[in-house]
Structure 1
Amino acid sequence: MFERKTTKTGTDQLGQTNRIVEGTTIKGNFSCAADTRIDGTLEGDFTSEGKLVIGPAGKFIGNIICTNCDIEGYFQGNLTISETLNLKSSAIVNGEVTCAKLSVEPGAEFNATCVMKSDVKNLKTHAKTTEKTA
């Protein structure tokens, strides 16, 4: 039911979340395997195999590459999400977005170019199962 994430050293990442709390500002690049929540400010590049949440007080300026992302606060930059991007009603997004799925609540500000790329593997599998032969 729950997928267990492990790092190269074998550390179990399930249930662990990195937190940048309100009042904290980080300038630089940030990379991790676990999920991350930002309620402070992060300026730089962010890469993760997990989920990123930018809380209502959170502010992110830079580039993000991750699996899933929920935005309630402010984002400016390039956003690359391999699965789902959720924009809550308080979200403000400026920049360029690439994702597989996009969910936008009423009230969210979405001032971005958006490219949605579906999962090619799923399309190939679906085409083979629905293909009929004579």
Structure 2
Amino acid sequence: MSDHLDTSGVFINSIIGEGTSFSGDILLSGLIRIDGDFKGSITTEGKVLIGKNGRAECMIKADTVVIGGVVKGDIISSDKVVILSTGMLIGNIAAPRLVAEEGVILNGMCTISNGKIPTEPEETSGDKEVQDDLERYNPEKKVFSLWKG
């Protein structure tokens, strides 16, 4: 797999572009791509794509979730969750399948259900250290900064 999200031949219903911040609850039936900052929740029968520069602090319920950026929150998928090598997830996963490339950062519990529709994962602790790590993470260099900002 590559470090970018291939969306050729795929119709994107909604996009939160790089440099954009949005808070709220999103309910849609298709695909959403996040390249900016999002806080809230996403529910779709389609796909959720978090681009390399995307940051999402939210609960995601979708058919397929592809993470190339940073996600803090729980994910429930009816098909699969894919974490690309540039991806970071602080939260729990409940899905029939999980694909994680080498180099991902994953801090949470995974419930893989062998093709069965998953149930809700346990809530994340909201640990302050995890929040601090999320704020210091630099996805370009795949490193954590010693200083915030």
Q: How far, CA to CA, are the matches of 1:72 and 1:92 in structure 2?
A: 7
Q: How far, CA to CA, are the matches of 1:31 and 1:42 in structure 2?
A: 14
Uncovered stretches (5+) of structure 2, i.e. residues with no partner: 1-9, 118-149
1:23 aligns with 2:19: yes
Calculate the aligned-residue CA RMSD, in Å: 1.5
- The aligned counterpart of 2:97 is 101
TM-score, length of structure 1 as denominator length: 0.76
Uncovered stretches (5+) of structure 1, i.e. residues with no partner: 1-13, 122-134
State the one-letter code of the partner of 1:100. P
Aligned match for 1:50, one of 42, 46, 62: 46
Q: How far, CA to CA, are the matches of 1:97 and 1:63 in structure 2?
A: 10
SS of equivalent to 1:106: coil
- Per-residue CA deviation, residues 29-69 of structure 1 (Å, 9 max, x unaligned), is 01111111100111001100101100000001010000001
1:119 aligns with 2:115: yes
TM-score, length of structure 2 as denominator length: 0.69
Higher fraction of strand = 1
Partners of 2:12 and 2:33 within 8 A in 1: no
The structure with higher relative contact order (CA 8 Å, sep 6+) is: 2
Aligned match for 1:70, one of 52, 63, 66: 66
1:91 deviation in Å? 0.4
1:16 deviation in Å? 4.0
Q: 1:90 to 1:120 in 2, by over 3 A?
A: closer
State the one-letter code of the partner of 2:71. F
Q: 1:17 to 1:71 in 2, by over 3 A?
A: same
Q: 1:57 to 1:98 in 2, by over 3 A?
A: same
1:36 aligns with 2:32: yes
Aligned length: 108
